Amino acid sequence: MPKLNKAQAKTVGDAESSSFEPLDDGAYHARLRDVKVSDQPGPSGSYYWKTEFEVVEDPYKNRRLWSNLSLSDAAAFKVKEFFDAFGEDTDTDTDELIGQVVKLIVSQTTIQAGARKGEIGNQIDRIAPAADDFEAAEKEESAESLI
């Protein structure tokens, strides 16, 4: 059976536990971490963008939030909202948006499917430009990125 050595055991013991406790309803500044196209179409028959954000302010700093943006014609307004929040044209490559900060309007909701069905989770209701006076700290480099 595997066992951690003393140094690993200390590192693991000192680590913060990740939490699935939902964020309170509210507006949070968050940095865009990733955008990927879905492997398969969603229920509308259209593909969608899977977005990942990281909250950059207390009390939820470093917490992650995810959202799907449908690429169906009926949801075009939500994709426009996404680009407007970053102050960019709709033909901008999303890779250029990675690392930029926007404001997410977040609410709590009951999860409808999957392993956490019935639990309370978060959903991103709206994406808006960051407040004019908000300055996010630069993203700290992780030890892995320095290797």
- Quick: pLDDT tens for 11-38: 888 776 666 689 999 999 999 999 999 9
Global confidence as pTM: 0.80
Q: How far apart are CA 22 and CA 61, in angstroms?
A: 13
Please report whether residue 105 resides in a domain: yes
Please report whether residue 51 resides in a domain: yes
Contacts of 9 (CB under 8 A, 6+ apart): none
Please report whether residue 143 resides in a domain: no
pLDDT digits (tens, 9 = 90+) for 48-85: 999 999 999 999 999 999 999 999 999 999 999 999 99
Q: State the CATH number of the domain containing residue 73.
A: 2.40.50
Please report whether residue 140 resides in a domain: no
pLDDT digits (tens, 9 = 90+) for 73-132: 999 999 999 999 999 999 999 999 999 999 999 999 999 988 989 999 999 999 999 999
What sign does the dihedral 53-54-55-57 (CA atoms) show? negative
Please report whether residue 1 resides in a domain: no
Please report whether residue 95 resides in a domain: yes
Please report whether residue 4 resides in a domain: no
In terms of residue numbers, what domain contains 97?
20-134
Please report whether residue 67 resides in a domain: yes
| Domains contained in the chain, number | 1
Angle at 103 between CA 101 and CA 105, to 5 degrees: 150
What percent of the chain stands above pLDDT 90? 71
